[in-house]
Amino acid sequence: MDTPTNTALTVLLAEYGYTHQSLADEVNQASGRIFGRPGAATDRDVRRWISGTVRWPTHRYLLPLAEIFDRPPEAMGFVPRGRTSRLPAPPPSVRPEQEEPVKRRAFLTTSTATTLTLVLRLEETPVRGHLTMTDIDRIHATTGRLDAHFIAIGGGALLTVATTYIDHLRKTADGCTYGPRVEQALHRALSNLHSTAGWAAYDAGDTPTSRLHHAAALQTAILTKDGHAQARAWADLSVQSRAEGRHREALNINRAALQTRHARQDPRIAALLHARLAIGHARLGNPSASARSLLAAQKAHDHFDTTAPPPPWLRFLDAAEIAGLAAIAHRATGKLPDAERATAQALHLLKPSVHRNRAYYGIQLAQLQLAQGDTTTARATATAIDTTTVSSPRIARRLATLHHQLTTT
């Protein structure tokens, strides 16, 4: 039986500019920092990881890889042995000194949370003393890694990790001294963390907790007078309202968010809000308004600045995601063939490393095929959905429902 190629790791090598040998050298250096002595990885090891011959490397390689690429093993395309993806912590002799270690590690109750915490390096953020912009840069890098984790594989244990880091930064805010510029940046990070925690709770199906975090994200963004964070919070609250069936409220939130300065000036935010506005119009039975919003989203996408990287939370928004959101709008207006074509387009355009959305839109495609009476194709589509590297209870439930529908059809 042929082993599947690790396309996610292949993409990462190209993205970071590594050759097989240079990645092996980097792994060995990182191993020296983590374990106190250099590793022994070779280019042959890297080839075996990429070919899929080795699907779950030893922890002496996994921990360095997680540090190098700032993501957990599943997001690098590795497949756990058996039921666990637990990574051991670095040896105590080389672990950085910590204050209140029991409190800081109390949330490590699941294997995924352990992995995420090691990757995030939460110990780098001080809770007393003077806070500088260098500390803020590390905090924003950490929140970016959280967003990247969600985009790649979903919420999973992210809610526990994000809320723990929020508590940690609250202690930082109370226990450190800093100037106005640092204070604003710190609260911007807190707003982004609440948004990420809200999405993680949404992925877990915990609606009340999701709404609380999204509301806290908006409140914090308003207090710090950060327009970009406010735009993110408003966009997230519109999805929250839609998920709870309050489609008119979601529509009004989207309209208000589109009037903000950042939405008018940032094509990425505008594209996201217009696409979600299209879904709102569709759910309220206004197909013509939905079509106009989809066109506006596409026009905004055409004006993306591709020379500058987007903020981490917006990296998911590309042509694939806009096609996927258009499919949801088409489905809501009853245009199932259009929805199927748009979903297939989204799957075709998705990057190999975006496992969560690939599973999400794969399920959506099978549901659309089933709704149109094409049971055979729907079964084939459902069988091809790979959730091995996805950590999302919401998607797992959707897939289980899909399989149940297929078995009873």
CATH number where 377 lies: 1.25.40.10
Same domain membership, residue 322 and residue 312: no
Q: Around 13, how many Cα atoms within 13 Å sit in the side-chain half-sphere?
A: 20
Q: How many domains does the chain have?
A: 4
Show which of 299, 317, 335 is a domain's final residue. Answer: 317
Same domain membership, residue 354 and residue 289: no
The residue type of 258 is L
Residue 88, pLDDT score = 53
In a domain, 300, yes or no: yes
In a domain, 173, yes or no: yes
Residue 100, pLDDT score = 37
- Model pTM score: 0.72
Give me the residue label for tokens 């959730």: 387
CA angle 234, 335, 392 (to 5 degrees): 50
In a domain, 90, yes or no: no
In a domain, 258, yes or no: yes
Residues of 246-267 as b/e, b for ≥16 C-beta within 10 angstroms? ebebbbebbeebbebebbeebb
Residues of 126-145 as b/e, b for ≥16 C-beta within 10 angstroms? bbeeebeeebbeebbebbbb
Cα distance between residue 224 and residue 232, in whole Å = 14
Residue 97, pLDDT score = 38
Same domain membership, residue 215 and residue 168: yes
Same domain membership, residue 157 and residue 112: yes
User: Euclidean distance between the first and final Cα of the chain, in Å?
Assistant: 32
Q: Is the sign of the CA dihedral 15, 19, 24, 28 positive or negative?
A: negative
Residue 380, pLDDT score = 96
Same domain membership, residue 23 and residue 2: yes
Show which of 79, 106, 132 is a domain's final residue. Answer: 79
List the beta bridge partners of residue 177.
130
CB 325 within 8 A of CB 364: no
Q: List the structure tokens of 305.
A: 């600045």
Same domain membership, residue 345 and residue 266: no
Q: Is the sign of the CA dihedral 22, 310, 218, 150 positive or negative?
A: negative
CB 332 within 8 A of CB 371: no
Same domain membership, residue 221 and residue 118: yes
Q: What are phi and psi of 198, to 5 degrees?
A: -60, -40
Shortest CA distance to 394 belongs to which of 242, 236, 204, 211?
Answer: 204
Residue 105, pLDDT score = 31
CB 372 within 8 A of CB 390: no
Same domain membership, residue 119 and residue 74: no
Q: CB atoms < 10 A from the CB of 299, how many? A: 13
Q: List the structure tokens of 344.
A: 């297939």
Grouping H, G, I as helix, E, B as strand and the rest as coil, residue 308 is coil
Residue 2, pLDDT score = 61
Cα distance between residue 299 and residue 268, in whole Å = 10
Q: List the structure tokens of 361.
A: 């839109």
Cα distance between residue 187 and residue 403, in whole Å = 44
Show which of 225, 253, 276 is a domain's final residue. Answer: 225
In a domain, 169, yes or no: yes
Q: What is the pLDDT along the chain (409 residues), one digit of tens a residue?
A: 566 788 888 888 876 778 898 889 888 888 887 777 788 899 999 999 999 899 888 888 888 888 787 777 888 888 877 644 555 555 554 443 333 333 333 333 344 555 555 555 555 678 888 888 888 888 888 888 888 888 888 887 788 888 888 998 999 999 999 889 999 999 999 999 999 999 999 998 888 999 999 999 999 999 888 888 888 899 999 999 998 889 999 999 999 888 888 888 899 999 999 999 999 999 999 999 999 999 999 999 999 988 888 888 888 999 999 999 999 999 999 999 999 999 999 999 998 888 899 999 999 999 999 999 999 999 999 999 988 888 888 999 999 999 999 988 7
Residue 69, pLDDT score = 79
Distances (CA, A) of 98 to 34, 111, 116, 224: 15, 21, 17, 30
Same domain membership, residue 389 and residue 304: no
Same domain membership, residue 101 and residue 37: no
Same domain membership, residue 341 and residue 282: no
Cα distance between residue 409 and residue 405, in whole Å = 6
Q: List the structure tokens of 122.
A: 């939460």
Same domain membership, residue 325 and residue 313: no
Residue 156, pLDDT score = 74
- Domain span including residue 132: 96-225
In a domain, 88, yes or no: no
CATH number where 50 lies: 1.10.260
In a domain, 86, yes or no: no
In a domain, 230, yes or no: no
Residue 116, pLDDT score = 55
Question: Directed axis angle between helix 375-384 and helix 393-407, to 10°?
Answer: 150
